[in-house]
């Protein structure tokens, strides 16, 4: 059995869309397999409407230090981070920024990550 979130991940659709189209809180895996093998019109339309190279529906976040992973919906405000680490890791556990770059941290990436952005200093 998969929960609705896991089903949305498998179908590569937003959780809200899964709810709207009647995917129950718990669904057998073989039912999701059937949806993938013979997609209904709404799923075909959703997949056809995606722009090639556009923003993905789900991304996998991975800690550079411990390898912990989490699937999340990407947010528009997320920066293009250099590294991603769990909140409890120190910045000393990551490689130093390249020469001439400064480092900043962005909280709130996924449920437990900090985005590390190495960038050129503002002039």
pLDDT of 86 above 90: yes
Question: How distant, in Å, are the alpha carbons of 98, 105, 112, 113 from that of 16?
Answer: 41, 30, 22, 23
> Are the C-beta atoms of 4 and 27 separated by less than 8 Å?
yes
Give the integer Cα–Cα distance in Å for 61 and 24. 26
Alpha helix ranges (H) inside the chain: 4-11, 15-20, 29-37, 41-49
Under the banding of pLDDT at 50, 70 and 90, the label for residue 84 is: very high
**Mean pLDDT, to the nearest integer, of 63-72?**
96
> Are the C-beta atoms of 75 and 107 separated by less than 8 Å?
no
How high is the mean pLDDT of the chain?
92
Q: How many CB atoms lie within 10 A of CB 47?
A: 13
Higher model confidence: residue 50 or residue 93? 93
Q: Which residue carries 């995606």 as its tokens?
A: 50
pLDDT at 71: 93
Q: Which pTM does this prediction carry?
A: 0.71
């Amino acid at each position: 059995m998969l929960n609705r979130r896991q089903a949305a991940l498998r179908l590569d659709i937003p959780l809200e869309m899964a709810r709207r189209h009647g995917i129950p809180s718990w669904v057998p895996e073989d039912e999701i397999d059937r949806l993938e093998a013979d997609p209904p019109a709404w799923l075909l339309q959703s997949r056809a409407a995606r722009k090639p190279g556009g923003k993905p529906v789900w991304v996998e976040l991975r800690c550079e230090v411990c390898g912990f992973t989490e699937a999340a919906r990407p947010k528009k405000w997320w920066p293009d981070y250099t590294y991603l680490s769990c909140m409890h890791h120190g910045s000393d556990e990551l490689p130093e920024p390249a020469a001439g770059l400064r480092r900043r941290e962005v909280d709130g990436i996924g449920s437990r990550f900090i985005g590390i952005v190495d960038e050129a200093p503002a002039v």
